[in-house]
Amino acid sequence: MVGPARAPLGDTVPRWISDEPGEEEGLLRALGLTEVDELFSDIPRKARIGRLGLGAGREEAEVVAEIDRLLERNRPYSKFANFLGGRIAPRFSPAALDAILSRSEFYTAYTPYQPEASQGMLQALFEFQSLWVELTGLDVANASLYDGATAAGEALLLCRRIHEGRRFLIPASLPWEEKSVLENYATGPGLTVQEIPWDSSTGSLDLDAVDRAVQSGDVFGMLADLPNGFGHLDEGLPDLKSRLGTIPLVVAADPLALSVLEPPGEFGADIVVGEGQGFGIPPSYGGPLLGLFACRREHLRASPGRIVGATVDAAGRPAYALTLTTREQHIRRSRATSNICTNQSLVALGFVVYATLVGPRGLADLERRLSEKARTLASGLGGIEGVSAPRFNAPYLHEFTVELRRGSALEFLDRLRRRKVLGGHALADPRPGRPHDAERILVAATEAVDDTAIQRYLRSARAAIEAVGVSA
């Protein structure tokens, strides 16, 4: 027997919102309104986006067919010779990783908002924290944040909680996207983000400029990245903490690079953040990403996020518990140390599973292999007239900067794309009013790059440079 179209729940509340003709008008009359836009009258008109102009609804089969036609226009990055890097790495993941992540006990219990989160998930997060602590050389890590950029923003706020001042120092070479996030974090508290210039020869921080900024006072923290925004290693970084004194030092580090480099905690870093996406998570439409965060023990209660601790139960068996939860959706409210409302537990699980499957020796071997490929590519690009590669006289691992002396970076990369080569990232800041003083590209070597792909890049780069002269 077929029931009524709108079965009531109680006397007045329907089970769903009906789309019966005339119902919208009836609802508006009941509210004393004449049109839907009046519901949003409190929002300033300049902040509204207006109607989307989607047109009338369509049948589901029509919509699916249209979506399929749109999807056919996609060009997967796996079909290209891929030299993209930066903070998002197209790294190979073992098949066992997906098998573990897809288990229902992880999918259904991945978010430890509640105290009854499963012991298995809590243990996995404890292992995740322990791994980041080991890589960074610091004392304590949290159970993840959104991404590397917001982890840096949270580090900025932590620095301000533990040190007085109004200015936060960052490298001018930091990726522009991360600069933007840090500037947004600083706006609310009325803080200032100040850029420190880089040496034109090495791309490293101008340490004299750091000294001048510190001596002028009012600095509450500084961030440096490892490798830096040009892909190079700043050889002055180990001396930076001695110049800052009591001012907290934040290091934004690549976890793969830390498999072969000295842990930042050993040369004075107070906080280490990073982007963990490359460990087990594909660059699917730019995410999901994973924020890594560690600090010294004395800053534990001022740090953001949640921390899982190890203990024993009443029978003396190993047990895990959510030890600190300092965010606003828990009991802290206005005293919360962070307004980030979720974490990346499933992605964090992928991070620790990937690292476990590959192992410490495997990670170091991977970094060495990628570095060898990067040097082969840099040597070949440096032999092309109109190309400077690597641009800076400084050590590097699997990424380096190319500077074009002919043509623009965007045109160069577009010509490479037409030849099925993803040649890297243009480093220019596209925001209005930002300086654009050179045509630089960040190039990376990945597992997918072999000798054939490198030679394809070199042929395409040579053709792209030659095309500049023809078009001129």
Mean pLDDT by 10 residues, the chain (472 residues): 46 58 84 89 86 83 95 87 88 90 75 64 92 96 92 96 96 95 95 95 95 95 96 94 96 96 96 94 84 95 88 92 68 69 82 95 95 96 93 95 92 94 92 84 91 95 83 44
The DSSP secondary-structure symbol of 197 reads P
Give pLDDT, residue 10.
47
Q: Which residues pair with 444 in a beta bridge?
A: 399
Cis omega (within 30 of 0) on the bond before 227?
Answer: yes
The CATH architecture one would assign to domain 95-355 is 3-Layer(aba) Sandwich (3.40)
Per DSSP, which regions of 211-281 are E strands?
219-226, 249-253, 271-275
pLDDT digits (tens, 9 = 90+) for 251-285: 999 999 999 999 999 999 999 999 999 998 888 77
Burial class of residue 341 in the structure, from the number of CB atoms within 10 Å of its CB (0-12 exposed, 13-18 middle, 19+ buried): exposed
Give pLDDT, residue 205.
95
CATH topology (fold) of 77-88+359-471: Aspartate Aminotransferase, domain 1 (3.90.1150)
Domain with CATH 3.90.1150.10 in the chain: 77-88+359-471
pTM confidence score:
0.85
Cα–Cα dist 50/127, whole Å: 48
Q: Which of 262, 288, 264, 293 is nearest to 277 (CA)?
A: 288
Domain with CATH 3.40.640.10 in the chain: 95-355
Cis omega (within 30 of 0) on the bond before 248?
Answer: no
Cα pseudo-dihedral 416, 419, 422, 424, rounded to 10: -20
